[in-house]
Each structure stands twice: as C-alpha cells, then as structure tokens.
Structure 1
C-alpha cells in the first residue's frame, strides 16, 4: 500500500510539473525559439528524479557540429536518461506518434518521425534530419531499429546513417560527426543489476506500455550508465558500412565494459 501511494504521489507531481511547463514549450514550438530545445532537458531531469532513475555520465556529447548520436536501445527510459544530459532530438518510427503519453511527449520534443518502410519518403525524411543537424541540434539515432533485452547490442542497420550523408552539404567543414553512445542499466536498489532484474527496465515490443511504466515507477531505484565514445567522422567518400561497423564496435565495447563492470579494450 505504501509503495502504491508513493507511486501515485510522484506521478501526480510529474503531471503537475508537466502542465506548468507545457504552455512555455508550446510557445517555443510555435515560434521555433531556443526555449523549445532547452525545456525538455529540465523536464526529463525531473522525470528521472521522480522515477528514481539515477544517471551516471561517462564522457560527454561532442561539442562540434553537425552531430549525430548513435545509441543502443533498451527501453523508453533511454530517452529520459539521454535527454536529461543535453538538448537532444530523437529519430523515431512513425507509430510512436500515436502512442499514449510518449507519443505526445515525442511531439512536444519535436522528434523526427520516419516511415522506414516507405522508400519514396526516405529522402525527405533524411533531409529534414540533416537540416536539424546543420542547425546545431543533437540528433539521436537508435540504429538497432528496435529495443533489445539490455544485455546485448543487436546488429545495427547501416542504412539508417543515410541522414549523415544528407547533412554533408550543409556541414561547414565537410564532416558530420557520429558519436557512439552506450546505455547500460547497471543497478537496482543499490545492488548490481544482473540478467535477472534487467527485464524490469527492458521494453520488448510485445510488452504493454502503461504496465511497464508503472513497474518502473514501483521500482523507484534504477541506475543507468551512459557512455559517450570516440566520434567517427563521416565525410564525402566515406563508406557507410565501414562507418557503421566502427560505430557498432565502439557501442558494443562500451556496453560490455559497463555490464561486466570492467574495462574492455
């Protein structure tokens, strides 16, 4: 009973803060003010606090632009953790726009929604992403194309890096930076999180959203390590598959390092 009361109390706090910040975000979106990039970071920091999600950051997003972050993907909580670090925009599949709660939040953060199965629209979508990157926004891509169980990295899709190539003509120095990011859920109530507890946070596609959200809120004590790796330069003439392989190897190395709690060279 106490856990349930606490859960609903913190959820109420999050709703109150959301409605306080909402008008300012809507105004920022309407006039495309920098405010609409900044506010989500503070909202996500508060959301992490409410959910009991402790974020440990290793390294930092590259300051050079254009910048794309390529990260492994375990759960919707990845977005909360990443967005609490810096001002970011996410690339999401079109179905996300219709999801309850998170679809609305994604729109308020001005996420880029893509239809991966429609080849005719791929060019326009990549161009939209390229323009956002050229405008100085940090664009986050989950190149696995789906969520994993949090214990491993799924093969990444090199085709999803097409937006980096599209951004090259808009890059002042003729280079787009792709920075690998590893998100590792490592702690649960102050204890190391192993394979047994990681399903608490991992969100495979067949799990209903709201019950999963409530499960994380009841846990109220999760720890996540976010590692920023060495950026890979994407230039004219770069081989997309080779760039993809470098990014994948770095994400895999950092993820294994944190999950196994030791340095992987």
Structure 2
C-alpha cells in the first residue's frame, strides 16, 4: 500500500514538473532561444531525483567545442542520466520520433533524427549535426546502435561515426572532439547490483515500458556511474574505424572498471 502511494506521488510530481517547464521549452523551441538547451537539463535532473536515480560522475567532460560524447547504451534511463549531467542533444534513429512518450520527449529536446537508410538525406542531417556542434551544443551518439543488457559493451559500429567524419570538415577548425562516456548501473538501494536486478537497470527494448518503469519505482534507489574518458581529436580525413576502435577500447575499460567497483579517486561529483 505504501509503495503504491509513493509511486503515485512520484508520477504526480513528474507530471507537475513537466507542466511547469513545458511552456518555457515550447517558447525556446518556437524562437530558437538558448533556454531550450537548459530546460531539458532541469527536467532530467528532476526526473532522476523523483525516480531515485543517483548519479556519480567520474572524470570531467571536455570543455572544448565542438564536442561529441560517445556512450554505451543500456536503457532509456541513459537519456535521463546524461541529460542531468550536461546540456546535451541526442542523435536518434528517425523511428524514435514516432515512439509513444519517448518520441515526444525527444522532439521537445530537439534531438537530431537521422534516417540511416536514405543516403539522399545524409547531407542535410550532417549539416544539422555540424551546425549544432558549431553553435556549442554537445551532441551524444550511442555507437552500439541499440541497447545492451548493461553488463557488457556491444559491437561499436564505425559507420555511426560517419556523423563525426562528415561534420568535421564543416566545423570552424575542421575538427570534432570525441569523448567516450561510460554509463554503469552499479547499486540498488545501496547494495551491489547482481544479475537479479539487471533487468531494472537495462531495457533491451523487447520489454514493455510500463512494467519496467513500475519495477524501477518499486525499488526506489538506483546508483549509476558516469565516467568520462580521454578525448579523441577527430580531424577531417581521419579514419573513422580507428576512431571506433579507440572509443571501444576506452568504453570497455571504463565500463568494466565501474561495474567491478574500481572507481576513480581524482574526481567524484554526485549530481543532486
């Protein structure tokens, strides 16, 4: 009974936060104001707080621009987590725009939707990515192309770095700074996460959203580590397969380290 009341309060609070912030975001989108970059971060932080997602940041995000974050992908919660850490914009598959709930949220955040199968539209999509990065926006790419079980890194597709390869010549200094960012879900209610709780952390996509969301709400507290790796300077003409290999090596190392509890000592900022 108490659990159901808490779940109801969380959902009600999330709706209230959304209704309060929505007008500001709509105005920002309508007039392309910079506020449209900041409002989503407030929403993501509020959502993480209400859902009980506690974020621990290790390392530092590169301050240089243009910046692309390359992250592993385990769940829709990754969007909330990275969105709570920084003012970011996501590169998403075109079909995401039509998904219930997530599609609307992605549009409100002005995600960049790409149609991978239609080469005739590639030029326009790349131009938008380059323009957004040149404007100082941090673009997030999930180079696995799909979600994993959260325990391992899937194959990183070098083709998805085509956005960085094509955007580099269009940037002011002919370079895109690519920084790996590993996301590891490590604890539930303060206890180390075992295989039993992995379905709560990960969302492979074949699980219905509502039962998955209810499972998270019932648990009440989920700890996630976000670890930033060393930035790779990707210049026009560089080999994207090498970029993919370098990103893969860093993500695998960071993910394994944090899943095993070997965290950095130099920097640990908890996102409240």
Q: If the TM-score is normalised by the length of the shorter chain, which range does it land in?
A: over 0.9
Matched, 1:37 2:72: no
Whether the 8 Å contact between 1:133 and 1:139 is mirrored in structure 2 is yes
Separation of aligned partners in 2, 1:122 and 1:203 = 29
Q: Return 5+ residue gaps in structure 1 as ranges.
A: none
Match of 2:169 in 1: 169
SS at match of 2:225: strand
Separation of aligned partners in 2, 1:239 and 1:67 = 18
Separation of aligned partners in 1, 2:152 and 2:159 = 21
Output aligned runs, 1:9-158, within 5 Å: 9-158=9-158
Report the TM-score, using the length of structure 2 for normalisation. 0.94
C-alpha offsets along residues 157-199 of structure 1, whole Å, 9 cap, x if unaligned?
A: 1111111122223333322100001000001011011222111
SS at match of 2:148: coil
Whether the 8 Å contact between 1:68 and 1:138 is mirrored in structure 2 is yes
Output aligned runs, 1:172-251, within 5 Å: 172-251=172-251
Aligned alpha-carbon RMSD (Å) = 1.3
Q: Return 5+ residue gaps in structure 2 as ranges.
A: 265-272
The range that moved more, 205-214 or 59-68, is 205-214
The range that moved more, 194-203 or 247-256, is 194-203
Separation of aligned partners in 2, 1:263 and 1:21 = 35
Whether the 8 Å contact between 1:134 and 1:167 is mirrored in structure 2 is no
Whether the 8 Å contact between 1:164 and 1:176 is mirrored in structure 2 is yes
Match of 1:262 in 2: 262
Whether the 8 Å contact between 2:127 and 2:170 is mirrored in structure 1 is no
CA shift for structure 1 position 19: 0.5
Whether the 8 Å contact between 2:184 and 2:225 is mirrored in structure 1 is yes
CA shift for structure 1 position 213: 1.7
Whether the 8 Å contact between 1:127 and 1:163 is mirrored in structure 2 is no
Separation of aligned partners in 2, 1:247 and 1:129 = 19
CA shift for structure 1 position 263: 6.4
Report the TM-score, using the length of structure 1 for normalisation. 0.96
What is the total number of aligned residue pairs between the two structures? Answer: 264
CA shift for structure 1 position 113: 1.1
Whether the 8 Å contact between 2:71 and 2:183 is mirrored in structure 1 is yes
C-alpha offsets along residues 132-180 of structure 1, whole Å, 9 cap, x if unaligned?
A: 1111100000000000000000011111111112222333332210000
Separation of aligned partners in 2, 1:99 and 1:168 = 31
